[in-house]
Copies of this chain bind each other. A is one copy, B any other.
Amino acid sequence: MSDQAAQARPKTVTACVLTIGDEILSGRTRDANLAYIATHLNRIGIQVREARVIPDVEEVIVATLNEVRARYDYVFTTGGIGPTHDDITADAVAKAFGVGIGYHPEALKILGEHYERTGAEFNTSRKRMARLPDGASMIDNPVSKAPGFQIGNVFVMAGVPMVMQVMMDSLTDRLEGGAQMQSRTVTGQIGEGTIAEKLGELQARHPDVGIGSYPYYVGKTFGTSIVMRGVDSSELDIVAGEVMALMREFGVEPVAGGAA
**Which A residues form the contact surface with B (CB < 8 A)?**
22-32, 34-40, 42, 47-56, 60, 82-87, 120-121, 123-126, 128-129, 144, 160, 162, 181, 183, 191-194, 196-197, 199-200, 203-204, 210-217, 227, 229, 258
Contacts and interface: CB of A to CB of B under 8 A. Distances in A.
A160 B197 contact: no
A25 B52 contact: no
Contacts of A181: 26
B27 A125 contact: no
A50 B39 contact: no
A34 B53 contact: yes
Contacts of A193: 82-84, 120, 123, 125-126, 129
Main secondary structure of the interface of A (DSSP, over half): mixed
Nearest to A143: B217
A33 to B, nearest CB: 10
Q: Which of A25, A47, A200 has the most CB of B within 10 A?
A: A25
24 contacts: A23-B214, A25-B51, A26-B38, A26-B183, A27-B34, A28-B183, A29-B35, A52-B52, A83-B192, A84-B199, A84-B200, A85-B200, A85-B213, A86-B203, A86-B212, A120-B191, A120-B193, A125-B193, A125-B196, A125-B200, A126-B193, A126-B196, A144-B217, A160-B215
Nearest to A126: B193
